[in-house]
């Protein structure tokens, strides 16, 4: 097969969830399919160099498949994408195109599109500060159906999101395939995360409103002071000028300056140390399409407090303590139990490692190859 993999959703060397899925799945697929020819699309020469280095370093097994990497000088949502992408790809004679997020173009080859979640559609008020183009295309069901109309198949990351696609966009089951993301094996930890003493409560991800970090901060503030002094709250992940200042102000207003910290972006190489030093991971989002940090934390032996919403119950299984994210007192209760109940922690650590072992990028790549080769 001659396959286009659109990696333009890798927008920075500091990887968000979509970028990590994009690169990890690409690395596994290229190693599993040595007879395929891959056309890799990047958004800039800098990101191409970073991406190729990342792909080659992802495993000790070398990439045997032939491939070409292209810098596309316009974004996936640009009008130029519709006008020029097909011509740029034509000489490489691709047979299929795969996007790790939405696709905005028509091509004369089959397209498979990955949909991680329907967060903008389900929580449009959280995106009032987004660009007009984003709001017009991503927060309306009619616009999303148009984006997906050219897809031969829509691949999503959980049965929860598949159900959302059926109910919200009326996509037929026959067009939707589920492919769980994987988790990389735990990496050796050389020492604690710089500047952090082990034992903190960790939240990892973007500061978007649906992540419910404000609810987590409020719930954490209700813990006994002695427990907060022993187990600080660490909010790690990319900052956003639309949302991060309000979280900082909330921390200050609640008098948490000494026990709550916004860490900011985390380099991929520092994630093992960050996870390993955590007393627990809290992911109390109102909605997740998958929730990769849940599985990653479990793989490092970190107990997880998760919300009973979206895909999180599906992903966590019976290996996490689940709470209602709309009830801060319930989040406080969950934090307190996971910080103080040794028997519960041991039980969830054991179950968590078993749950994490169910997810691998190799299994994800096999599933993707199967989806791409399915007949219409």
User: Each residue of 137-174: pLDDT tens digit?
Assistant: 889 999 899 888 889 999 999 999 999 999 999 999 99
- The answer to whether the CB of 95 falls within 8 A of the CB of 70 is no
| Strand ranges, E, within 59-199 | 66-71, 96-99, 111-115, 153-156, 176-178
- First and final C-alpha spacing in the chain: 16
Q: Residues 307-341: pLDDT tens digits?
A: 999 999 999 999 999 999 999 999 999 999 999 99
Distance CA(292)–CA(136), nearest Å, equals 28
pTM for the model: 0.90
Query: Is 80 exceeded by the pLDDT of residue 298?
Result: yes
Q: Count Cβ atoms within 10 A of the Cβ of residue 132 and give its class: 0-12 exposed, 13-18 middle, 19 or more buried.
A: exposed
Query: Is 90 exceeded by the pLDDT of residue 64?
Result: yes
* Mean residue pLDDT across the chain: 95
Q: What pLDDT, on a 0 to 100 scale, did the predictor assign at position 376?
A: 75
Query: Is 90 exceeded by the pLDDT of residue 106?
Result: no
Q: Report residue 129's pLDDT band, with 50, 70 and 90 as the boundaries.
A: confident
Is 132 or 341 the better-scoring residue by pLDDT? 341
Residue 348: name the closest of 315, 305, 309 by CA.
Answer: 305
Distance CA(64)–CA(47), nearest Å, equals 22
Query: Is 80 exceeded by the pLDDT of residue 250?
Result: yes
Query: Is 80 exceeded by the pLDDT of residue 73?
Result: yes
Q: Count Cβ atoms within 10 A of the Cβ of residue 239 and give its class: 0-12 exposed, 13-18 middle, 19 or more buried.
A: middle
Q: What pLDDT, on a 0 to 100 scale, did the predictor assign at position 304?
A: 99
Q: What pLDDT, on a 0 to 100 scale, did the predictor assign at position 262?
A: 98
Distance CA(168)–CA(156), nearest Å, equals 14
Q: What is the set of domains in the chain, with CATH numbers?
A: 2-182+360-373 (3.40.50.2000), 200-356 (3.40.50.2000)
Q: Report residue 92's pLDDT band, with 50, 70 and 90 as the boundaries.
A: very high
| Run of H or E residues at 42 | strand 37-42
């Amino acid at each position: 097969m001659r396959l286009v993999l659109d990696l333009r959703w890798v927008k920075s060397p500091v990887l968000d969830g979509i970028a990590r899925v994009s690169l990890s799945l690409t690395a596994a697929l290229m190693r599993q399919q040595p007879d395929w020819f891959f056309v890799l699309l990047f958004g800039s020469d800098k990101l191409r160099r970073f991406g190729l280095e990342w792909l080659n370093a992802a495993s000790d097994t070398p990439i045997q498949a032939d491939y070409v990497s292209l810098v596309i000088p316009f974004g996936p949502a640009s009008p130029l994408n519709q006008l020029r992408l097909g011509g740029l790809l034509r000489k490489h004679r691709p047979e299929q195109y795969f996007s790790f997020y939405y696709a905005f173009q028509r091509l004369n080859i089959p397209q498979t599109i990955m949909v991680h979640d329907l967060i903008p559609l389900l929580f449009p008020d959280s995106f009032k500060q987004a660009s007009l183009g984003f709001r017009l295309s991503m927060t309306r069901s009619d616009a999303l159906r148009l984006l997906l109309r050219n897809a031969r198949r829509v691949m999503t990351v959980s049965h929860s999101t598949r159900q959302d696609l059926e109910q919200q966009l009326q996509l037929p089951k026959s067009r939707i395939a589920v492919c769980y993301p994987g988790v990389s094996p735990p990496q050796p930890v050389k020492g604690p995360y710089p500047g952090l003493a082990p034992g903190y409560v960790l939240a990892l991800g973007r500061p978007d409103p649906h992540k419910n970090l404000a609810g987590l901060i409020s719930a954490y503030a209700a813990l006994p002071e002695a427990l907060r002094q022993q187990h600080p709250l660490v909010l790690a992940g990319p900052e956003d000028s639309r949302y991060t200042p309000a979280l900082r102000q909330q921390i200050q207003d609640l008098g948490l300056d000494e026990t709550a910290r916004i860490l900011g972006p985390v380099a991929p190489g520092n994630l093992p140390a960050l996870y390993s030093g955590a007393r627990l991971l809290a992911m109390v989002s109102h909605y997740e399409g998958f929730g990769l940090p849940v599985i990653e934390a479990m793989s490092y032996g970190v107990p997880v407090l998760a919300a009973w919403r979206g895909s999180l119950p599906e992903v966590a299984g019976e290996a996490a303590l689940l709470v209602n994210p709309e009830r801060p007192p319930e989040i406080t209760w969950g934090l307190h139990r996971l910080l103080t109940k040794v028997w519960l922690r041991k039980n969830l650590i054991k179950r968590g490692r078993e749950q994490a072992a169910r997810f691998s990028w190799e299994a994800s790549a096999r599933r993707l190859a199967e989806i791409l080769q399915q007949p219409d």
